[in-house]
Copies of this chain bind each other. A is one copy, B any other.
Amino acid sequence: MDKKLLGIDLGGTTIKFGILSLDGEIQQKWSVETNILDEGSHIVPDIIESINHHLDMYKMPQEQFVGIGMGTPGTVDLEKGTVVGAYNLNWKTTQHIKDEIEKGTGIKFAVDNDANVAALGEAWKGAGNNSDEVVFVTLGTGVGGGVISNGELLHGQGAAGEIGHMNVHPNGYLCTCGGHGCLETYTSATGVVHIARDQAEKYAGSSQLKAALDNGTDISSKDVFDTAKQEDPLALRVVDEVCYYLGMASANIAALTNPEYIVIGGGVSAAGDFLLDRVVANFKQFAFPTIRESTTLRLAELGNDAGLIGAASLALKLQ
């Protein structure tokens, strides 16, 4: 009987499940909506029910699974398998998810936070090329990440990988964390739009992006990159600023950890090589010479599956 891994990517709108082979191939995938009512108290029972239902349907016994791994928002206690402060799940108090899921499914369980788990996924089966030295940076609504070195995720005192809160501009934009000039304020989807609004005010020339902003059109980070690709001069300036900060932060990350790969993912990274090439140019400007040659920046490859695959990889350690 081939042993399997079960991965769960728990998000604020859906819970994704996957059954994977031990070498990380997704063999079954399904998802359910996240029911955050009643302080998120339905979430864990829903997960248990969905797993038991599917294993029953697929006629797969518990013993076939090395374990279940899950990525979750919030602050995770790895050893206890608890989560606290996952506000988009309405989890305000400590949730004993490991105990409950192990009891409910009869399968061993491990959990880590969603950015760390996505880092594991990209490192294992994505752009990280199964290297032991990978840093993952995800540019979404916020900016997060995970650091893998010596083949292990770094947790530090629990909050390692807060890449979005590295400072790139001491007097820069106000961040939700209370600081000024965090990377997130410039390179998240909202940061890109913030830069666009700022630069548009100062920009005098002709620009499709400026016209849209002046018209009060609600623009997205994607709009900025799309107009930049059409050589809109203002949009190009915005992209240059985004890539400048991301290149500098990548150089600082690499000075400290010198990974084989820095993998850039998340919604903003959908701009592809147009983004990457500009980030790399700035990275090379800021990076220490030996690091410039030994750390490579790449685009993420797994998209939404990174979390599922990385979550499943947590289960590998339960063997």
> Are the CB atoms of B294 and A162 closer together than 8 Å?
no
CB under 8 Å from chain B, chain A span 278-317: 285-291, 294-295
Are B166 and A252 in contact, CB atoms less than 8 angstroms apart? Answer: yes
Which residue of B155, B162, B251, B258 contacts A156 across the interface (Cβ within 8 Å)? B258
Q: Does A71 contact B (CB under 8 A)?
A: no
With beta carbons under 8 angstroms apart, the residue of B133, B154, B179, B295 that contacts A150 is B154
Complex contact A156–B177 (CB within 8 A): no
Interface presence of A178 (CB below 8 A): yes
Chain B neighbourhood of A266, CB < 8 A: none
- Whether the Cβ atoms of B157 and A294 lie closer than 8 Å is yes
Chain A positions 151-170 with a Cβ under 8 Å from a chain B Cβ: 152, 154-163, 165-167, 170
Given contacts A162-B255, A166-B252, A256-B256, contact A156 B133 (CB under 8 A): yes
Q: Is the CB–CB distance between A258 and B166 below 8 Å?
A: no
A285: B residues at CB distance < 8 A: 179
Contact-residue bracket for chain A: 35 or more
A159-B291 in contact (CB<8A)? yes
When C-beta atoms are compared, the residue in chain B nearest to A245 turns out to be: B170
Does A258 contact B157, Cβ atoms closer than 8 Å? yes
Q: Does A260 contact B (CB under 8 A)?
A: yes
- Taking a contact as CB atoms under 8 Å apart, the answer to whether A289 and B155 are in contact is no
Contact present for B149 and A258 (CB under 8 Å): no
How many copies of this chain sit in the oligomeric assembly?
Answer: 2
A48 sits at the interface (CB 8 A): no
Contact of A162 with B291 in the complex, beta carbons under 8 Å:
yes
Shortest beta-carbon distance from A250 to chain B in Å: 11
Q: Tell me whether A76 is interfacial, beta carbon within 8 Å.
A: no
Q: A149-B156, A150-B152 are in contact. Are A256 and B166 (CB under 8 A)?
A: yes
A259→B158 CA distance, assembly (Å): 9
Q: A149-B149, A167-B252 are in contact. Are A288 and B162 (CB under 8 A)?
A: yes
A245-271 interface bits toward B, Cβ cutoff 8 Å, 1 = contact, 0 = none: 000100111111111100000000000
Q: A156-B259, A157-B259, A170-B248 are in contact. Are A179 and B286 (CB under 8 A)?
A: yes
A158-B288 in contact given A152-B150, A167-B252, A251-B167 (Cβ < 8 Å):
no
0/1 string, A157-192, CB within 8 A of B gives 1: 111111101110010000001110010000000000
Name the distance in Å between A132's Cβ and chain B's nearest Cβ: 10
List residues 101-144 of chain A with CB under 8 A from any CB of chain B. Answer: 133
- A15: interface (CB < 8 Å): no
Interface residue? A97 (CB, 8 A): no
- Write out the residue numbers on chain B whose beta carbons fall within 8 Å of the beta carbon of A162: 255-256, 258, 288, 290-291
Q: A243 on the interface (CB 8 Å rule)?
A: no
Once the chains bind, are B255 and A163 in contact (CB under 8 Å)? yes
Q: Compute how far the CA of A294 lies from the CA of B256 in the bound complex, rounded to whole angstroms.
A: 19
In order of increasing CB-CB distance, the 3 nearest A-B pairs are A156-B258, A157-B294, A165-B288
